[in-house]
């Protein structure tokens, strides 16, 4: 499962700049719409294009490894297992 670390990166950037940043700030800086940023940060396995990944990495001054985390998917429940 792929997870985008938007929330934690936004918190980190907010602390380093000593001001509260929001998804709207990301939208204004990158051109990525607010609703899309919200979906990226709240949904797993969101299909994000490379251009938007680059924009987010430049905004947060990070690498794709900082932006994206990969976790093993939890095993599906099967009775009597």
Q: Does residue 14 lie within any of the structural domains?
A: yes
Number of domains into which the chain is organized: 1
**What whole-number distance in Å separates Cα of residue 35 and Cα of residue 1?**
21
> The whole model's pTM is what?
0.84
Which CATH number fits the domain that encloses residue 41? Answer: 1.10.260.40
Q: What is the pLDDT of residues 3-62, one digit of tens each?
A: 999 999 999 999 999 999 999 999 999 999 999 999 999 987 788 999 999 999 999 999
Q: Does residue 20 lie within any of the structural domains?
A: yes
């Amino acid at each position: 499962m792929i997870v985008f670390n938007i929330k934690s990166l936004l918190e980190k950037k907010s602390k380093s700049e000593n001001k509260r940043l929001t998804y709207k700030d990301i939208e204004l800086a990158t051109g990525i719409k607010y609703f899309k940023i919200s979906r990226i940060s709240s949904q797993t396995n969101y299909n994000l294009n490379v251009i938007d990944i680059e924009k987010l990495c430049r905004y947060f001054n990070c690498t794709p490894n900082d932006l994206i985390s990969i976790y093993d998917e939890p095993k599906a429940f099967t009775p009597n297992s």
